[in-house]
Amino acid sequence: MKKLTLFLLVLFLAAVTALPQNSARKSVFGVNTGLSMAYDEFADKTFIYDAGFATMGPDIEAEYLYYGNYFGFSSSIGYASIFFNERAYQSEYDGTLNGYGTNEVSAGNYQVLKFLVGFTLKLPEFNHTEVLFLTHLGYACTIHPDLIVTNSELGVINSMDRDAGGAPVANLGVKINYWLNGRYGVSLNGSMTLTEPSFYDSTGPGGYFTMPMKYYNVNIDFVINLKSSSL
């Protein structure tokens, strides 16, 4: 997280000092929806440290961007609900208990509500198309799902109550806007998000644990240029 934050700050300073601006600016509001897909430890499906057993799930975001020919600022609010891989978690218990009894797993979803602000670097527009690179920092409110594992012979062998956490969040993304006219357009977004909240587990050693939550987003966006008269 520290290395990523330093990278964003260096990129920001380079953008401010190196990129000239002119009066052609856009003020853009967009709403997008798509999929969030876990990766790295968050998606690991084995009993290793930091394994999250997360898969994918829907997400929705609202965003505002203000930019000129090359540089601008942006902000967004996004919500993601990512499924817990019950089948993989059960498979690990089946192997651990070596077929003793029948195991059942029940779990909710991971949830992330993130608030982001940052800056935008934009390539020259061509054929009504814009390519923008977004770098954001912010704060994420997260929820670890409730989880219960039962064995037909042993009863409840693992459980965790639903718990909320919060932590700084970093986000890197690419956004491609295609303008249908001077005011309305469609967009394709891809991004990666990282946050590391702490959760409480009454059955675990030490109680609290930190979970790296890393996931990709692929979204389709509807955008409105609020300053279309200046185009």
pLDDT at 48: 87
More confident of the two residues 14 and 201? 201
Contact present, 116 and 171 (Cβ < 8 Å): yes
Over residues 157-185, the pLDDT tens digits come to: 999 999 999 999 999 999 999 999 989 99
Which CATH number is correct for 2-20+27-230, 3.30.499.10, 2.40.160.20, 3.20.20.80, 1.10.1660.10?
Answer: 2.40.160.20
- Amino acid sitting at position 162: R
Does residue 8 surpass a pLDDT of 90? no
Average pLDDT (219-228) is 90
Q: 3-state DSSP call for residue 91?
A: helix
Reported confidence tier of residue 1, pLDDT bands at 50, 70, 90: low
Distance from C-alpha of 189 to C-alpha of 167, rounded to nearest angstrom = 24
Reported confidence tier of residue 4, pLDDT bands at 50, 70, 90: low
Over residues 37-58, the pLDDT tens digits come to: 999 999 999 998 889 999 999 9
Beta bridge partners of 165: 142
Beta bridge partners of 38: 215
Distance from C-alpha of 24 to C-alpha of 230, rounded to nearest angstrom = 7
Average pLDDT (141-159) is 94
More confident of the two residues 230 and 83? 83
142: which residues sit within 8 A by CB, 6+ positions away? 110, 111, 112, 113, 164, 165, 166, 167, 195, 197, 213
